[in-house]
Amino acid sequence: MAGYDEKMGRNEIIKEYRKLGKRNYRKKSGKIILEGYHLLEEALKAGIELETILFTDEFQQKAVNRELLACARKSGSIKVSSQKFKEIAQTESPQGVGAIARLPRPAAVPAFENCHFILILDGLQDPGNLGTIIRTAAGAGIDGIFLLPGTVDPYNPKALRASMGGIFHLPVLQIDTVESCCAFLAARNLQLIAADPRGEIPYYSVDFARPCAVVIGNENRGVQKRLLKQADIRAYIPLEGKIDALNAAVAASIFIFEYRRCQHFSC
What one-character DSSP code corresponds to residue 140?
A: H
Question: What does the angle CA 73 – CA 74 – CA 77 come to, to the nearest 5 degrees?
Answer: 65
Q: Are the C-beta atoms of residues 223 and 193 closer than 8 Å to each other?
A: no
Q: How is the beta sheet containing 76-80 ordered, strand by strand?
A: 31-35, 97-102, 50-56, 76-80
pLDDT one-digit tens code per residue, 42-79? 999 999 989 999 999 999 999 999 999 999 888 889 99
Cβ-based neighbours of 261, under 8 Å, separated by 6 or more? 267
Considering the chain, what is the average pLDDT of its residues? 92
- pLDDT value of position 109: 77
- pLDDT value of position 266: 67
Q: With pLDDT > 70 as the criterion, what percentage of the chain qualifies?
A: 96
Averaged pLDDT, 207-228: 95
- pLDDT value of position 3: 45
pLDDT one-digit tens code per residue, 202-216? 999 999 999 999 999
CATH topology for 10-102 is 60s Ribosomal Protein L30; Chain: A; (3.30.1330)
Cβ-based neighbours of 105, under 8 Å, separated by 6 or more? none
- Give the pTM: 0.91
pLDDT one-digit tens code per residue, 127-136? 999 999 999 9
Q: Are the C-beta atoms of residues 46 and 74 closer than 8 Å to each other?
A: no
Superfamily for domain range 109-264: SPOUT methyltransferase, trefoil knot domain (3.40.1280.10)
**pLDDT at residue 2 is higher than 50:** no
Sign of the C-alpha dihedral computed for residues 90, 94, 98 and 102 taken in this order: negative
Q: Are the C-beta atoms of residues 185 and 192 closer than 8 Å to each other?
A: yes
pLDDT one-digit tens code per residue, 137-183? 999 999 999 999 999 999 999 999 999 999 999 999 999 999 999 99
Q: Are the C-beta atoms of residues 232 and 192 closer than 8 Å to each other?
A: yes
Question: Residue ranges of the domains in the chain?
Answer: 10-102, 109-264
Alpha-carbon gap, residue 182 to 103, rounded angstroms: 27
Q: In this structure, what are the phi and psi dihedrals at residue 266, rounded to the nearest 5 degrees? A: 50, 60
